[in-house]
Amino acid sequence: MFKKLLASGKSMSVYVERSNPTPSDSEQQSSSLAELEIRLQEIFSDSSDVVFRTFSIGGEVDALLIYIEGLVDEKQLKETILSPLMSSSDSSFSTTTDNTEFISFLQKSLIANGHVKRISRIHEIEQEVLKGLVLLCVDGYSESIAVSVPGGSVRSVEQPSTENTVRGSRDSFTEILSTNTSLIRRKIRSSRLKFDALTVGEISRTGMVIAYIKGLENERVLREIKSRIEAMQAEAILESGIIEQFIEEKPFSPFPQFLVTERPDYVVSALLQGQVAILTDGSPFVLSAPMTFWGFLQAGEDYYERVVYANLIRMVRFLFSMIALLLPSLYVALTTFHQQMIPTNLLLSIAAAREGVPFPALVEALIMEVTFEGLREAGVRLPKQVGQAVSIVGGLVVGQAAVQAGIVSAPMVIVVSLTGIASFTIPRYNFSLAFRILRFPLILLAGVFGLYGVSIGLLAILVHLCELKSFGVPYLFPMAPVSLKGLKDALFRAPIWTLYLRPHSVGPRSKGTGKN
Amino acid sequence: MRSYGRNDRISNLELFALMLVFVVGSLLTLPVGYAAGHDSWISVLIGTFAGLGINGLYAYLCRRYPKKSLVEIAHLILGSWIGKLVGLLYAWYAFYLGSYVLRNFTDMTSAVLLPRTPTVVLGIVMVVLTVWTATKGIEVISRCSLIILLFIFVSTFIGCVLLIPNMEPYNLFPVLDNGWHAILLGAGQIATVPLGETIVFAMLIPYVNRTKFVGRTVLGAIGASGGLLLVTCFVNIFVLGEIAGEQLFPSYTSFMYISVGDFFERIEPLVFTVWIFNEFTKLSVCLLTTSVAFAQTIRSKDHRVYLLPVGLLILLFSTFLHPSQLDVVEFVKTVWPLYSVPFLLVVPLLLLVVSLFRRKGMHANLTDAEPK
């Protein structure tokens, strides 16, 4: 009982503490500058980065500038707002001072900026300031002007760091939403390319843009994505990955259901295929859905290079992704259960290498695979200065010394390193994770049941893939269910002129007319 | 129809793939149809035509009652009580078939891949996987079969090509050496065991989205399976000659002969993995049809409830039906063809005849405008 009271008292005090400075949606701005300043000071109390700058317009009218330091280009602010307003002569606005249109006069004639917007609610003022706009309030008027003077230090557009291609554009997304949309717009100069802006996250209020090409997009997917994003209840969105986890269909599937990329050309090609892209402020990774199994195995060069080479390289990639999934488990199965399948000479050398090894193949494989995963994780986290040390330790100690000491056999080291290399041929990082995860149950199954276990594991994966859908599009489309049109770009790709840049994936739409 | 759940529509192509994989599953693993030794290819030809007849029969029946399964048709035209009896009969048929599929599968896996693992462990793993798959519905199974079909084609093709050095076409002669009796015996096996088993698909045809083409699909699938069977039969005769009929797993034995440049030898376990896929599909279909037939018989809304019990019963049956593998094979070769005649011919024919009379009685005044 007492505890309960205490608890309620606590929550009350929290409530009071919070409610005070937070403006309600309908609170109007006061026309007195002094009152407004006090109110805003209250809202932005203890925020050292919010700058309140009072000055007078033409030496007559008091005005107040509010902005956040670091989000605004101070030099430009001075040139485009402060100087023209402060130095404007009496005569230029003596005719309009009595007029209630003074604010629009300011907006029209004195502020030399592109983005200008008039607002009158306290809560809007709060929002716009937090977004990084400059607020100009004038004494005697209950309206303010929000001016965009973007600045501060941001990362410039650089080469993509996780998705390299030999051929193709070299730009990659940055953390700034407007930069990212511009990178896409530069590649599609069409008014049919739409950017739908949203704000998500109760505290972080992260900006988001849903991009699609009107007439090509799959309406059902678009509607579904929008409704899921609106239904999302999150305090903060720090990365597009958080949105992905909120709105994907099967969160426990090892397979990703979104394309995650930092390359604008991939996003553009996805949009042209009818996909819907989600851009998030603060994240250089853009999501795009619906994706299929085959889509994850494709890279930019598949389309940029000539068709013969593109198909060859696609086959290589497919082969190696199968190696990444299966090689260790097949090795375990063959050496443990089905030695007759190994050619005799090879079998002899494997047997010779394994002679002194104290572990069964299953344990050996697990040890090496786990070690490799550890090395890989260390490689991602390590500070740049110690990279050399880790590669020496990893290469020499884990590789050579372990073999010489007879703890693991040399063929197993070869198998594991080949598997590791193979997993890097998968062009999408998030897709290769699925193969990394599934490798372990397959190794276990191979150790217990041999080839039978491997086939059972593969069947389970196949069943899961057949069931999996990305926003209503079957994951194995166009293989299961079959679509002859889609097969033009799945395992192989047809010559580019037959594709018309609309390969597959989103299904039931005819050529670019936008109808049905 | 309400009991079909969410994933409940398949296309004709998916039905085709599913049937093909289903049939091929036992084609390649069982020594059926080899009664006539090196003349078995004639058995295959005759058996395929007989199989086409059997399948045409129930495809026609299903066409007359679109969107109705065999059990529902029986309910409709024979009344509730006899309909229930027919429903139980077919639930039993699919169930018993499933037990044999599992038994044959575990026996073979044990003999070929894992001689020291208890067969029941292999069975448990398989049943768990198929029950899990069957709960996902017919759509998932048939999409899997599309991919599996690809594996079958590729592995059969590669296997046949690699066997070319071991082939001896003169094994075919002299033709008709063993007389017509053995040939017809083999044909009977072919028609009833692999090709006739597709009667369980009469429970699944209502799932197909375009019923109009189902007849063509069914006959096409049977024809294609017959073709595949003919190819494997020729390969086995070419490679093994007269002893083809005496092998426990003729196709498997043939693949043991593969040897490429003294390097790729004994790769038959790889071929066998494809057969695991086949048997998996076949068992899933048996499981699903048993549950659907049973659910429709007792007018239950959700067939998925029965999948796990049916799966466990199949596991149980498969272990104690026969004392040994040879016994199973002998039973499948000699008893099964006779045992399956009522299910494949008598009941469907009965249904067809009754439905023809019913239709005539009902529409006595109308001119006969039935689809042919």
pLDDT at A140 over 60: yes
Using an 8 Å CB-CB cutoff, list chain A residues near B147.
Answer: 462, 466, 476, 479-480
Within B30-69, where are the H helices? 40-64
Going by the DSSP 8-state scheme, the letter that residue B193 receives in this structure is T
Q: Which of B113, B133, B270 sits opposite A337 (nearest CB)?
A: B113
pLDDT at A90 over 70: no
Using an 8 Å CB-CB cutoff, list chain B residues near A337.
Answer: 113-114
SS3 call for A262: coil
- Domains (ranges, CATH) in chain B? 2-352 (1.20.1740.10)
pLDDT number for residue B360: 55
Residues A135 and A129: beta-carbon distance below 8 Å: yes
CB-defined contacts A:B, below 8 A: 86
CB atoms within 10 A of CB A220: 15
Q: At what angle do helices B138-163 and B12-29 cross, to 10 degrees?
A: 50
Mean pLDDT rounded to a whole number for chain A: 83
Residue with tokens 């020496």: A392
pLDDT at A510 over 60: no
Instruction: Please state, in angstroms and rounded to a whole number, the distance separating the CA atoms of residues A328 and A321.
Output: 13
pLDDT number for residue A93: 55
pLDDT at A513 over 80: no
| DSSP sequence for B262-302 | TTEE--HHHHHHHHHHHHHHHHHHHHHHHHHHHHHHTT-S-
Confidence of residue B58 (pLDDT cuts 50, 70, 90): confident
Q: Does B143 touch chain A (CB under 8 A)?
A: yes
- The sign of the dihedral angle between the CA atoms of B232, B233, B235, B240 is positive
pLDDT number for residue A304: 86
CB contact under 8 A, B262 and A343: yes
Residues B285 and B138: beta-carbon distance below 8 Å: no
Cα-based distances in Å from B314 to A385, B93, B275, B317: 62, 12, 20, 5
Using an 8 Å CB-CB cutoff, list chain B residues near A479.
Answer: 146-147, 150
CB contact under 8 A, A343 and B113: no
Cα angle vertex B20, ends B340, B204, to 5°? 65
Q: Which residue has the higher pLDDT, A407 or A99?
A: A407
What CA dihedral angle connects A195, A201, A206 and A211, to 10 degrees? -20
Of chain A residues 424-443, which have a CB less than 8 A from chain B?
none
So what's the ipTM on this one? Answer: 0.90
% of chain A residues with pLDDT over 70: 89
Using an 8 Å CB-CB cutoff, list chain A residues near B140.
Answer: 463, 466-467
How many CA atoms are closer than 13 Å to the CA of A165, on its beta-carbon side?
24
CB contact under 8 A, A462 and B147: yes
Using an 8 Å CB-CB cutoff, list chain A residues near B269.
Answer: 338, 341, 451
Joined together, the tokens standing for residue A77 give 């602010």
Q: Which of B117, B146, B267 sits opposite A480 (nearest CB)?
A: B146
Strand order in the sheet with A259-261: A193-200, A206-213, A276-280, A286-289, A259-261
Give the 3-state secondary structure of B66-83.
CCCCHHHHHHHHHHHHHH
Q: DSSP E strands: which ranges in chain B?
A: 259-260, 264-265
Q: Which of B125, B147, B272 sits opposite A480 (nearest CB)?
A: B147
Q: Does A392 touch chain B (CB under 8 A)?
A: no
pLDDT at B371 over 70: no
pLDDT at A36 over 90: no
pLDDT at A133 over 90: no
> What are the residues facing A280 on neighbouring strands?
A208
Task: Give pLDDT tens digits for B196-251.
Answer: 888 888 888 888 888 788 888 889 999 999 998 888 888 888 888 877 777 778 88
Instruction: Please state, in angstroms and rounded to a whole number, the distance separating the CA atoms of residues B22 and B17.
Output: 8
Joined together, the tokens standing for residue A428 give 């999408």
Of chain B residues 3-32, which have a CB less than 8 A from chain A?
7, 11, 13-14
Chain B: give the shortest CA distance to residue A219, in Å: 22
Closest residue on chain A to B130 (Cα):
A460
Amino acid at B187: A
CB contact under 8 A, A451 and B269: yes
Confidence of residue A96 (pLDDT cuts 50, 70, 90): low
| DSSP sequence for A142-183 | S-EEEE--B-S--PPP---SS---SSS------S-HHHHHHH
Q: Which of A337, A455, A482 sits opposite B276 (nearest CB)?
A: A455
Instruction: Please state, in angstroms and rounded to a whole number, the distance separating the CA atoms of residues A447 and A440.
Output: 11
Q: List the one residue out of B65, B85, B64, B130 whose CA is nearest residue B277.
A: B130
User: How confident is the model over A191-216, as a mean pLDDT?
Assistant: 90
CB contact under 8 A, A480 and B144: yes
Confidence of residue A363 (pLDDT cuts 50, 70, 90): very high
Q: Does A348 touch chain B (CB under 8 A)?
A: no
Instruction: Please state, in angstroms and rounded to a whole number, the distance separating the CA atoms of residues B370 and B372.
Output: 6
Instruction: Please state, in angstroms and rounded to a whole number, the distance separating the CA atoms of residues B34 and A147.
Output: 88
- In degrees and rounded to multiples of 5, residue A198 shows phi and psi of -140, 160
Instruction: Please state, in angstroms and rounded to a whole number, the distance separating the CA atoms of residues B40 and B30.
Output: 14
- The sign of the dihedral angle between the CA atoms of B9, B13, B14, B19 is positive
Most A CBs within 10 A among B113, B119, B136, hence the mutation to make, goes to: B113
Amino acid at A271: L
pLDDT at A117 over 90: no
Joined together, the tokens standing for residue B35 give 């009664």
Residues A196 and A210: beta-carbon distance below 8 Å: yes
Joined together, the tokens standing for residue B90 give 């077919």
Q: Does A337 touch chain B (CB under 8 A)?
A: yes
Chain A: give the shortest CA distance to residue B127, in Å: 11
Q: Does B325 touch chain A (CB under 8 A)?
A: no
Confidence of residue A9 (pLDDT cuts 50, 70, 90): very low
Cis status, amide bond into B337, omega within 30 of 0: no
| DSSP sequence for A330-344 | HHHHHHHT-GGGS-H
Closest residue on chain B to A340 (Cα):
B266
Q: List the one residue out of A398, A296, A409, A413 whose CA is nearest residue A352.
A: A409
Using an 8 Å CB-CB cutoff, list chain B residues near A453.
Answer: 125
Using an 8 Å CB-CB cutoff, list chain B residues near A476.
Answer: 143, 147
Q: Does A340 touch chain B (CB under 8 A)?
A: yes
pLDDT number for residue B350: 87
Q: List CB contacts of B182: < 8 A, sequence separation 6 or more.
A: B35, B36, B37, B39
Residues B242 and B38: beta-carbon distance below 8 Å: yes
CB atoms within 10 A of CB A309: 11
Q: List the one residue out of A238, A310, A243 whose CA is nearest residue A276.
A: A243
- In degrees and rounded to multiples of 5, residue A28 shows phi and psi of -90, 155
Using an 8 Å CB-CB cutoff, list chain A residues near B150.
Answer: 479
pLDDT at A10 over 70: no
Task: Give pLDDT tens digits for B16-52.
Answer: 999 999 988 776 677 777 777 778 888 888 989 998 9
Q: Which helix (H) or strand (E) holds A369?
A: helix A361-381
pLDDT at A437 over 50: yes
Instruction: Please state, in angstroms and rounded to a whole number, the distance separating the CA atoms of residues B67 and A397.
Output: 67
Joined together, the tokens standing for residue B182 give 């053995």
- The sign of the dihedral angle between the CA atoms of A98, A103, A104, A105 is positive
